[in-house]
Structure 1
Amino acid sequence: MQSIKQIITSGKTCIGIEFGSTRIKAVLIDHQGNILASGNFNWENQFVNGIWTYDLNQIWLGLQQAYQALTQNVLEIYETHITQVSSIGISGMMHGYMPFDSHGNLLTPFRTWRNNITSDAAKKLTALFNYNIPQRWSIAHLYQAILNQEDHISQIDYFTTLAGYVHWKLTGEKVLGICEASGMFPIDTQTQNYDAAMIANFNQLIEENHFPWTLNQILPKVLPAGKIAGKLTAEGAKLLDPSGYLQSGIKFCPPEGDAGTGMIATNSIKETTGNISAGTSAFAMIVLEKSLSRVYEQLDIVTTPTGKLVAMAHANNCTTDINVWIKLLSESLHCFGVTLPADKIYETLFNKALEGEKDCGGLLSYGFYSGEHSVDLPNGCPVFLHPTDSHFSLANFMRTHLYSAFGAMKLGMDILIQQEKITISKIVAHGGIFKTPNVASGILAAALNVPIAVMSTASEGGAWGIALLAGYLEMSDDISLTQYLDEIIFKHTDISINQPEPSTVQGYERFIQGYKQNISVAKEAARIYSNT
Structure 2
Amino acid sequence: MSLVVGLDVGTQGVKLVAYDPQQRRIVATHGRPLELVAGDDGSREQHATWWLDAIRACFARLAPDARARVAAIGVSGQQHGFVPLDANGEVLAPVKLWCDTSSQRECDEIMAAAGGADRCVALAGNPILAGYTASKLPWTRRHRPEAYARLASILLPHDYVNFWLTGEQWMECGDASGTGWLDVRTRRWSPELLAATDPERDLGACLPPLVAADASFPIAPGIAAELGLPRGVRISAGGGDNMMAAIGTGNVEPGVLSMSLGTSGTLFAHAREPVVDAGAGWAAFCDSTGGWLPLVCTMNCTLATEQVARLLGFDARDGDAAMEGTAPGAGGLVMLPFFNGERTPDLPHARASLAGMDLSNLTRGNAYRAAMEGATYSLRNGYDALLAAGLGFDAIRVTGGGGRSPAWRQMVADVFGLPVDVPVQAEGAAFGAALQALWALGAGADGPGIAAISREHVQVDPALSARPDPAAVEAYREPYAKFLRHLQAARLLHEIGPPGSG
TM-score in same-fold range (> 0.5): yes
Match of 2:135? 140
Matches of 2:181 and 2:256, distance apart in 1: 21
Match of 1:499? 467
Asked if residue 39 in structure 1 is aligned to residue 30 in structure 2, the reply is yes
Match of 2:208? 220
Return 5+ residue gaps in structure 2 as ranges.
Answer: none
Matches of 2:212 and 2:48, distance apart in 1: 28
The share of aligned pairs that are identical, in percent, is: 19
- Describe the SS at the equivalent of 2:381: helix
CA contact (8 A) 1:319 1:433 kept: yes
Residue among 26, 45, 59 paired with 1:53: 45
Matches of 1:185 and 1:194, distance apart in 2: 12
Letter of the structure 1 residue corresponding to residue 439 of structure 2 = Y
Letter of the structure 2 residue corresponding to residue 222 of structure 1 = L
Mapping of residues 299-314 of structure 1, within 5 Å: 299-314=282-297
Matches of 2:197 and 2:12, distance apart in 1: 36
Match of 1:96? 81
Matches of 2:254 and 2:289, distance apart in 1: 12
Distance 1:189 1:95, change over 3 A: closer
Match of 1:335? none
- Describe the SS at the equivalent of 2:325: coil
Matches of 1:267 and 1:393, distance apart in 2: 39
Match of 1:482? 451
Distance 1:298 1:253, change over 3 A: same
Distance 1:434 1:205, change over 3 A: closer
Match of 1:235? 222
Asked if residue 20 in structure 1 is aligned to residue 7 in structure 2, the reply is no
- Describe the SS at the equivalent of 2:378: helix
Q: Deviations over 1:400-448 (max 9, x none)?
A: 221112233322222122x3232223331111212233x2122112333
Alpha-carbon offset, residue 53 of structure 1 = 0.5
Matches of 1:530 and 1:248, distance apart in 2: 55
Mapping of residues 326-345 of structure 1, within 5 Å: 326-327=309-310
Matches of 1:149 and 1:25, distance apart in 2: 31
Distance 1:324 1:163, change over 3 A: same
Distance 1:523 1:34, change over 3 A: farther
Matches of 1:462 and 1:157, distance apart in 2: 29
Residue among 188, 200, 204 paired with 1:194: 188
Residue among 320, 323, 336 paired with 1:353: 323
Matches of 1:194 and 1:390, distance apart in 2: 57
- Describe the SS at the equivalent of 2:174: helix
CA contact (8 A) 2:250 2:458 kept: yes
Asked if residue 266 in structure 1 is aligned to residue 246 in structure 2, the reply is no
Alpha-carbon offset, residue 190 of structure 1 = 7.0
Residue among 280, 283, 305 paired with 1:322: 305
Matches of 2:460 and 2:477, distance apart in 1: 36
Mapping of residues 109-508 of structure 1, within 5 Å: 109-116=94-101, 117-118=103-104, 119-121=107-109, 123-124=111-112, 125=114, 126-129=117-120, 130=122, 131-133=125-127, 134-142=129-137, 145=140, 150=145, 152-185=147-180, 187=182, 193-195=187-189, 199-205=190-196, 209-211=199-201, 213-215=202-204, 217-228=205-216, 230-237=217-224, 241=227, 245-288=228-271, 290-292=273-275, 294-327=277-310, 346=317, 349-350=319-320, 353=323, 355-379=325-349, 381-385=351-355, 387-388=357-358, 391-417=361-387, 419-437=388-406, 439-457=407-425, 459-477=426-444, 478-487=447-456, 489-490=457-458, 494=462, 497-508=465-476
Letter of the structure 2 residue corresponding to residue 136 of structure 1 = G
| TM-score with structure 1 setting the length | 0.81
Matches of 2:89 and 2:274, distance apart in 1: 38
Letter of the structure 2 residue corresponding to residue 500 of structure 1 = P
Distance 1:293 1:56, change over 3 A: closer
Matches of 1:526 and 1:235, distance apart in 2: 51
Distance 1:246 1:203, change over 3 A: closer
Alpha-carbon offset, residue 494 of structure 1 = 4.5
Matches of 1:237 and 1:523, distance apart in 2: 55
Alpha-carbon offset, residue 299 of structure 1 = 0.8
- Describe the SS at the equivalent of 2:372: helix
| Deviates most, 271-280 or 251-260 | 271-280
CA contact (8 A) 2:172 2:213 kept: yes
Alpha-carbon offset, residue 184 of structure 1 = 2.1
Return 5+ residue gaps in structure 1 as ranges.
Answer: 1-6, 333-341
Matches of 2:140 and 2:180, distance apart in 1: 16
| Deviates most, 439-448 or 519-528 | 519-528
CA contact (8 A) 1:453 1:495 kept: no
- Describe the SS at the equivalent of 1:262: helix
Alpha-carbon offset, residue 492 of structure 1 = 7.9
RMSD of aligned alpha carbons: 3.2
Distance 1:93 1:518, change over 3 A: same
Distance 1:276 1:224, change over 3 A: farther
CA contact (8 A) 1:358 1:504 kept: yes
Alpha-carbon offset, residue 499 of structure 1 = 3.4
